Amino acid sequence: MDDCCNNKGNELALLRERQGRVLYIVLAINTAMFIVEFTAGWVVNSTALLGDSLDMFGDSLVYAISIFVLHRGVPARTGAALFKSGFLLLFSLLIIAEAVCKSIIGVVPDTGWMGLIGGIALIANLSCLVPLYSHRSDDINMSSTWLCSRNDVIANLSVLAAAGLVMLTESLWPDLVVGVSLAFLYLHSSVKVAKDT
């Protein structure tokens, strides 16, 4: 019986170690991409890039919290998941507010830079999604982390679509529609994470 418990304890420790390695990698990628996308979003006047950059910042915070609770009990992991849920809600509201401001000002983003940065962000998020995939069902902490990364890939594809539509129409509306759509995606994820806890 003791051997069985020891083996399970060792397996759990190895799982947490593997999760930790993955989380450190995705934390570094998301922090770097937040800086790149946030700067580019302001420079090229893109709501979609700004929304995605705020999501990168939120994800960086989410991954840091996930690392913090990795070796803690279920209550800590549940609290972290609820905190992540609140962050997704906050980001959705920020994106909606930014979109309203952009619609009043009427600035059309630079589509070349918007597409380039959106493409780089997509590559970065795919490189996060791949290692997280095998841990998506480990526990609520890793499940919510996987959800955040999946949303990032969807967001990046949306940013690229918006860049193409802005280029074709010479209108700011595709950028604003994508920004607000991302806000609703984050809102939906926020509710899902909260329900799963």
pLDDT bin (cut points 50, 70, 90) of residue 107 is: confident
The CA distance from 143 to 6, in Å, is 26
The CA distance from 123 to 136, in Å, is 20
**Cα atoms in the Cβ-side hemisphere of radius 13 Å centred on 19:** 26
The CA distance from 114 to 69, in Å, is 35
31-35, 70-74, 98-102: lowest mean pLDDT where?
A: 70-74
The pLDDT of residue 33 is above 60: yes
Contact criterion met (CB below 8 Å) for 45 and 107: yes
The pLDDT of residue 8 is above 60: no
Contact criterion met (CB below 8 Å) for 16 and 63: no
**Beta-carbon count within 10 A of 105 CB:** 9
What's the DSSP call for residue 109? P
Collapsing DSSP to helix, strand or coil, 137 comes out as coil
Of the candidates 22, 17, 16, 14, the residue with the CA atom closest to the CA atom of residue 132: 22
pLDDT bin (cut points 50, 70, 90) of residue 47 is: confident
What is each CA distance from 126 to 67, 156, 179, in whole angstroms? 20, 10, 20
Which residues, including other chains, have CB under 8 Å from residue 104's CB and lie 6 or more apart? Answer: none
* Domain residue ranges of the chain, discontinuous segments joined by +: 2-196
Average pLDDT, the chain: 79
The CATH number of the domain covering residues in 2-196 = 1.20.1510
27 token code pair: 């934390």
Model confidence pLDDT, tens digit, residues 140-177 = 667 777 777 787 888 889 899 999 999 999 999 999 88
